[in-house]
Amino acid sequence: MLEEMAPEIEREEAEARDALDFVEMLEKTYAEAGAKLKGARAALDKAQRDMSRAQQQRDAAERRAEAARQAAGLASATSGLNVALKAMQDSAARDLASADAAASKAKLLKPTRPEEDDPNISAALRAASGQAPTPTNLTDRLAAIRSRG
């Protein structure tokens, strides 16, 4: 009976070895797949962190660019205001110089008190302006009345 069972035992032993080889191959395959899955998971996590960091850097760069744009706009607005202010100050300075010149001219052309008080100078000024001299004596007064009439 043992002899009859010997081929069957050998077959069972061979099947056991085959099953053991198959289990070892499955374990090895599952271990490799698990390692690949862990690696892929780590790579995915790293990629997500990189994307998040890149998004943060892009947002920060956009904020800096916007701030720079606004600062440039503010600087150009300030520059425009400075140009307008300079033009207004220059215009005011020209107007003040013109007003000073006109005041000086008026002051120089206005008769002084001695000119108004001195009858000879007053008579010369009237004669120069085309007015008849003011008569000072009786004869001149009578002559002026006759010339009017």
pLDDT of residue 131: 72
Q: In whole angstroms, give the CA distance from residue 27 to residue 35.
A: 12
Q: How far apart are CA 117 and CA 100, in angstroms?
A: 28
Q: Give the pLDDT confidence score for residue 46 in this predicted structure.
A: 94
Token pair for residue 8? 């069957």
What pLDDT, on a 0 to 100 scale, did the predictor assign at position 106?
A: 80
Task: Quote the tokens at residue 31.
Answer: 């271990």
With a threshold of 0.75, does the pTM exceed it?
no
Query: Which one is predicted more confidently, 22 or 145?
Result: 22
Between residues 15 and 9, the one the model is more confident about: 15
CA–CA dist 46, 91 (Å, integer): 66
Question: pLDDT by residue (tens digit) across 54-104?
Answer: 999 999 999 999 888 877 766 555 667 778 888 889 999 999 998 988 888
| pLDDT-above-90 percentage for the chain | 40
Which of the four pLDDT bands, split at 50, 70 and 90, describes residue 135? low
- The whole-angstrom separation of Cα 113 and Cα 2 is 163
Spacing of C-alpha 96 from chain mean position: 34
Instruction: Tell me the average pLDDT of the chain.
Output: 84
Burial 100-118 (b: 16+ CB within 10 A, else e): eeeeeeeeeeeeeeeeeee
